[in-house]
């Protein structure tokens, strides 16, 4: 079951594409979690490029962007560099999908995450969330509107 709006966000620590640990509790600002199925897929590439292009808009409103998939650090490193992304990609790799499961967006049958976006407010509660069809690029507008509402 997908985490409800108003629910306390699970805390987590994951490795980003540089090998650095990223812990949700360390952020004092809103965080946009972008769960996506896989590096290198056409729709995921487009979605993350849209968020990268909009990164400054989120940053200007005091929010952080974090991409999350079950791909490993090395895959994220190559993908991040090739796509020239402006925000970290987190490896929900081992145990596979543990963070996605805690948010209710792990696709057990496929071994990947759903395409989902969560806006976590500064108090670590889910302010907004949406799960999208796996083949659809949701864009950044919904998450940006919610971040603006939190400002």
For residue range 65-107, list pLDDT tens digits in order.
999 999 999 999 999 999 999 999 999 999 999 999 999 999 9
In this prediction, residue 130 has a pLDDT band, given cuts at 50, 70 and 90, of very high
121 contacts: CB under 8 Å, gap ≥ 6: 30, 127, 150
Which residues partner with 106 through β-bridges?
Answer: 113
* End-to-end CA separation in angstroms for the chain: 29
In this prediction, residue 151 has a pLDDT band, given cuts at 50, 70 and 90, of confident
Angle CA 78–74–107, to nearest 5: 100
Q: CATH classification of 13-150 is 3.90.1150.10, yes or no?
A: no
Which has the closest alpha carbon to 25: 8, 11, 15? 11
145 contacts: CB under 8 Å, gap ≥ 6: none
Q: What percent of the chain has pLDDT over 90?
A: 99
In this prediction, residue 9 has a pLDDT band, given cuts at 50, 70 and 90, of very high
44 is catalytic: yes
Q: What is the mean pLDDT of residues 114-118?
A: 97
> What is the widest separation between alpha-carbon atoms in the chain?
39
Options 24, 43, 44, 126, the catalytic residue? 44
Q: What is the mean pLDDT of residues 129-133?
A: 96
Q: What is the mean pLDDT of residues 115-121?
A: 98
**Structural domain boundaries of the chain?**
13-150
In this prediction, residue 20 has a pLDDT band, given cuts at 50, 70 and 90, of very high
């Amino acid at each position: 079951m997908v985490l409800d709006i108003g629910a306390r966000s699970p805390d987590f620590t994951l490795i980003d594409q540089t090998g650095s640990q990223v812990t949700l509790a360390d952020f004092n600002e809103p965080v946009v979690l972008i769960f996506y199925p896989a590096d290198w897929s056409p729709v995921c590439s487009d979605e993350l490029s849209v968020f990268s292009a909009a990164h400054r808009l989120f940053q200007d409103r005091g929010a952080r962007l974090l991409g999350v998939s079950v791909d490993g650090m090395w895959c994220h490193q190559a993908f991040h560099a090739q796509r020239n992304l402006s925000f970290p990609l987190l490896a929900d790799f081992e145990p596979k999908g543990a963070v996605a499961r805690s948010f209710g967006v792990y696709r057990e049958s496929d071994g990947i995450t759903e395409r989902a976006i969560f806006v976590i407010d500064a108090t670590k509660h889910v302010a907004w969330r949406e799960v999208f069809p796996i083949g659809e690029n949701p864009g950044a507008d919904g998450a940006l509107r919610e971040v603006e509402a939190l400002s």
